[in-house]
Structures are given as structure tokens and as C-alpha cells.
């Protein structure tokens, strides 16, 4: 027996778009009290999951330990260096490592251990500053270029092509010559040469996400471009750019040492690993004076490898494609 059709009109269940937009953009604070706690628990669980995957990479764990150790050395440098790194003693020059001078002395009688520790602090300042500046500029320009497209995208990408066309070392020398010698001048020079790659990575990630379903849904209910980029695209596209920027810390340390080796960038009154190697060049073939170039060279190698190992671990634990 068939059921006769219901008479009359069905109730109107349509919700106006204005109501949906208001609820999406300005939710009730009381309604978000419980979900906020759930979001914090979810974020905490994600961090634990990232750390669990990170620990699988033993070299990444070793690199993290070395990086933390270097950071402590940089912070404690004024209190753990036994001598003033620039104090000269012409009666105690080019001495091999001893109980008084653990890493020996250089051609001017300066304590190599104190100079190496001071170089750690300088390397951390330059490396982290270059990472931060290149990351901020690269994220901003890459997101704008990828999301807007058109003439803005073409303009930003052509600028990146021009910067990338310069060989890194020559470009750094040119920028330092324009701004002059100094720690912050070196930071600015290296950041200028580092942001284009970060911008290209961010642009590529943004291009792949700007047409995704959740971005289209946010756009359809009237979310602003700024909200879409910052709340929806950026959190999902930042991983490759963040990993590149972190791995570039070691590259910045090597670039700073290369400039100092050539006598450019870091002032002569600041101990720097590259300049220490340059000062030791006349003693390369002199027996008993290898410490003058071995220790600063090892400092560069250890620092660069440590940050490379950490970046590799971050790639394995953060990149969604490798989960």
C-alpha cells in the first residue's frame, strides 16, 4: 500500500549565506571554549608524532644535540673562554695545544680555543639571522606570487631570477662592498641571496594548494584573501620552505667564512673561523703548526653537518609526503 503524498509545502530549511559567513568569520567565543582545548590537545599530539618520527633518524638526533651544544657555547661564551680572544702575546706564538692553551696559539699569540668559541657565537648570530630574514621575505613574496598570479607573479619571479643569476660568493662580495664591512652587513648580504629560493619553494606550494577544495570552500563563503593565505594555505605550504631555510644556516656559516677568508665582511677585530684559516695559510706546510687551521676547519665542518642533519630529520618528520 503506497503512502499518499503529503499536502502543503515542506518547511524551508535554507540558511542565508550571511548567517553562514558570520558564523564562520566570527564564531561565538563560548562555543569555541571546548574545541579550543581539543585543538590544543590535537596540536600537542601532532608535536609528539613529529618528535617520534624525528627520533627514528639517528643522525638527526646527533645533529640536534650538537646544535643545542653550540647554542649553549654561544650563550655562555663570555664566561667559558679562558682568555680574551683578541689578546696578543708575541712571546707565545704558534705554540701547539697544551694545558694552558687547549687549541694552541696563533701567529700573534692569541688563544685559539677562546677564538673558536667566539667564532661559535658569531656563526650562530649570522646563521639564525640569515635564516629568519630569508624565511620571512621568501614566505611573503612566494605566497603573494603563487596566490595572486598574473603580473604580480611574473614580476616577483623575474626579480628572483635576477638575484639567482649572480654567483653566490660574487653576489655576497658585491653586496658587502655596497653596504660596507660588519656583521649585520654580512647578514643582509647573505639574506638577499637566500630569499629567492625560499620564495620559489613557497610559490610552488601555494600554486598546488590555491585550487584545493578547502580553499575553494573558504573563498565561496566570503573569506578574505589574507585569511585564506594565512589560515589555510600558509600552514600547509610552509614545510618545504622551512626545511630549506633551516638547512641554509650551515650554508650561511660557510659563506661567512669564505668572505672572511678573502678579507671581506667580518671586521678584523672579531675572531672568525675563515679569517683564522687565512692567517694559517703560511703555516700549512710547517710541522707542528697544523692546529692553526685544523681546529677552525673542524668547527666549520661540525657546524655545517649538524644543521644539515637536523634539516634532514625535519624533512622526514614534517613533510606530509614522507609520513
Residues 6+ apart with CB under 8 A from 60: 54, 309, 310, 312, 313, 314, 316
pLDDT at 289: 77
Apex 203 CA angle, 126 and 307, nearest 5: 30
**Over the stretch 232-251, which tens digit does the pLDDT of each residue have?**
777 777 888 888 888 889 89
Quick check: 48 pLDDT over 80?
no
Quick check: 28 pLDDT over 60?
no
Confidence of residue 300 (pLDDT cuts 50, 70, 90): very high
For 266, the grid coordinates are 667580518
Lowest mean per-residue pLDDT among 84-88, 122-126, 189-193: 84-88
pLDDT at 299: 93
Quick one: which H or E segment has residue 122? helix 112-148
pLDDT at 43: 57
Confidence of residue 25 (pLDDT cuts 50, 70, 90): very low
pLDDT at 301: 94
The residues that bridge with 105 in the sheet, in sequence order, are: 111
Q: Specify the higher pLDDT residue, 48 or 115.
A: 115
pLDDT at 120: 93
pLDDT at 207: 83
Distances (CA, A) of 20 to 222, 235, 293: 10, 24, 67
Q: Specify the higher pLDDT residue, 304 or 35.
A: 304
Model pTM score: 0.79
Confidence of residue 178 (pLDDT cuts 50, 70, 90): confident
Confidence of residue 31 (pLDDT cuts 50, 70, 90): very low
The residues that bridge with 323 in the sheet, in sequence order, are: none
Q: Which domains does the chain have, with CATH numbers?
A: 54-78+117-322 (1.10.3720.10)
Confidence of residue 85 (pLDDT cuts 50, 70, 90): confident
Confidence of residue 45 (pLDDT cuts 50, 70, 90): low
Rounded Cα–Cα distance for residues 104 and 294 (Å): 11
Q: Quote the distance between the C-alpha of residue 118 and its chain's center.
A: 22
Quick check: 87 pLDDT over 70?
yes
Lowest mean per-residue pLDDT among 18-22, 150-154, 309-313: 18-22
Quick check: 103 pLDDT over 80?
yes
* Mean pLDDT value of segment 284-293: 76
Quick check: 15 pLDDT over 50?
no
Confidence of residue 267 (pLDDT cuts 50, 70, 90): confident
Quick one: which H or E segment has residue 102? none
Lowest mean per-residue pLDDT among 58-62, 84-88, 207-211, 274-278: 207-211
For 94, the grid coordinates are 704558534
* Mean pLDDT value of segment 86-112: 84
**Over the stretch 113-166, which tens digit does the pLDDT of each residue have?**
999 999 999 999 999 999 999 999 998 898 888 888 888 889 999 999 888 888
Q: Specify the higher pLDDT residue, 300 or 3.
A: 300
Q: Give the count of beta carbons closer than 10 Å to the beta carbon of residue 127.
A: 26
Instruction: Give percent of the chain with pLDDT exceeding 70.
Output: 83
Amino acid at each position: 500500500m503506497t503512502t499518499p503524498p503529503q499536502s502543503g509545502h515542506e518547511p524551508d530549511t535554507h540558511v542565508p549565506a550571511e548567517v553562514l559567513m558570520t558564523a564562520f568569520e566570527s564564531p561565538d567565543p563560548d562555543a569555541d571554549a571546548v574545541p579550543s582545548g581539543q585543538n590544543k590537545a590535537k596540536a600537542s599530539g601532532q608535536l609528539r608524532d613529529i618528535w617520534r618520527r624525528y627520533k627514528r633518524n639517528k643522525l638527526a638526533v646527533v645533529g640536534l644535540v650538537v646544535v643545542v651544544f653550540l647554542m649553549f657555547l654561544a650563550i655562555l661564551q663570555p664566561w667559558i673562554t679562558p682568555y680574551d680572544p683578541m689578546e696578543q702575546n708575541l712571546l707565545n706564538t704558534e705554540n701547539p695545544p697544551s694545558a694552558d692553551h687547549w687549541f694552541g696559539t696563533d701567529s700573534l699569540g692569541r688563544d685559539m680555543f677562546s677564538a673558536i668559541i667566539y667564532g661559535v657565537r658569531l656563526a650562530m648570530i649570522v646563521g639564525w639571522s640569515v635564516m629568519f630574514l630569508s624565511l620571512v621575505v621568501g614566505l611573503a613574496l612566494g605566497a603573494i606570487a603563487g596566490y595572486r598570479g598574473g603580473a604580480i607573479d611574473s614580476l616577483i619571479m623575474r626579480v628572483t631570477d635576477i638575484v639567482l643569476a649572480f654567483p653566490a660568493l660574487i653576489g655576497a662580495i658585491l653586496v658587502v662592498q655596497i653596504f660596507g664591512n660588519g656583521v649585520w652587513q654580512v647578514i643582509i648580504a647573505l639574506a638577499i641571496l637566500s630569499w629567492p629560493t625560499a620564495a620559489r619553494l613557497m610559490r610552488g606550494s601555494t600554486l598546488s594548494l590555491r585550487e584545493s577544495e578547502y580553499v575553494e570552500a573558504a573563498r565561496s563563503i566570503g573569506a578574505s584573501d589574507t585569511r585564506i593565505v594565512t589560515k589555510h594555505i600558509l600552514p600547509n605550504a610552509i614545510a618545504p620552505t622551512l626545511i630549506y631555510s633551516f638547512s641554509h644556516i650551515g650554508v650561511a656559516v660557510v659563506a661567512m667564512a669564505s668572505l672572511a677568508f678573502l678579507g671581506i665582511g667580518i671586521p678584523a677585530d672579531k675572531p672568525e673561523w675563515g679569517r683564522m684559516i687565512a692567517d694559517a695559510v703560511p703555516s700549512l706546510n710547517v710541522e707542528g703548526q697544523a692546529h692553526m687551521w685544523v681546529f677552525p676547519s673542524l668547527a666549520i665542518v661540525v657546524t655545517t653537518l649538524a644543521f644539515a642533519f637536523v634539516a634532514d630529520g625535519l624533512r622526514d618528520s614534517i613533510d606530509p609526503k614522507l609520513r
